[in-house]
Amino acid sequence: MRMSDLVAQHILAMLEEQDGNAEIRRNELASDLGCVPSQINYVITSRFTPEQGYIVESRRGGGGYIRITRVKMDKSTAVMHIVNSIGERLDKATAEVMIKNMYSQSIIDLTTARLLAAAMSERIFTDVPQDFRDVFRARIFKNMLITLSE
């Protein structure tokens, strides 16, 4: 298992134990997990973003901390939050992360996740010029999500 996956799992476990709120001391966590503090930063900035349903606050200094809060939303609000976070373009990797997050947060079921993933795959866009694939992917994904929220 990669270190970034281990760090993310540890933070997710803390969020579960503490009802969606975790306060992390970066240096202590890095020491406990045997990694460098910058690895903690990387995981937090890449996996605990507002688009993924988290609020991250930090306080610097000797008593500093990083506080991560999982935003609690109903299904429809969560889906619309995701729709609004998608710009004009959406690459396949980002779509996959969004689908995985929606599934792990029980916003969608496994069948819906598989259907969304199939619609976002590169196979669907082989006849579309490369420059337009991410634009079409964003439009299709938004439309599918809006349909889910109705």
For residues 88 and 43, state if they share a domain.
Answer: no
For residues 52 and 87, state if they share a domain.
Answer: no
Percent of the chain residues topping a pLDDT of 90:
48
pLDDT at position 112 is 96
Last residue of a domain, one of 52, 70, 88: 70
Collapsed DSSP state (helix, strand, coil) of residue 8? helix
Helix, strand, coil in percent for the chain, rounding step 5:
65, 10, 25
For residues 31 and 83, state if they share a domain.
Answer: no
For residues 80 and 144, state if they share a domain.
Answer: yes
In this prediction, residue 9 has a pLDDT band, given cuts at 50, 70 and 90, of: very high
Last residue of a domain, one of 46, 70, 94: 70
Domain that holds residue 41: 3-70
Looking at every residue in the chain, the average pLDDT score rounds to: 89
Specify the number of domains making up the chain.
Answer: 2
Q: What is the DSSP string of 38-87?
A: HHHHHHHHHHS-GGGTEEEEEE-STT-EEEEEEPP--HHHHHHHHHHH--
For residues 39 and 94, state if they share a domain.
Answer: no
- The rounded distance, in Å, linking the Cα atoms of 102 and 105 is 5
17: region left, alpha or beta (phi > 0 left; psi from -120 to 50 alpha): alpha
pLDDT tens for 67-105 read 999 887 788 888 888 898 899 999 999 999 899 888 988
Last residue of a domain, one of 18, 41, 70: 70
For residues 50 and 91, state if they share a domain.
Answer: no
Pairing of strands 65-70, 54-59: antiparallel
pLDDT at position 129 is 94
For residues 16 and 38, state if they share a domain.
Answer: yes
- The rounded distance, in Å, linking the Cα atoms of 52 and 102 is 8
pTM score of the predicted model: 0.63
- The rounded distance, in Å, linking the Cα atoms of 77 and 8 is 25
pLDDT at position 101 is 84
CATH assignment of the domain containing 80: 1.10.1200
For residues 96 and 46, state if they share a domain.
Answer: no
pLDDT tens for 102-137 read 898 888 999 999 999 999 999 999 999 999 999 999
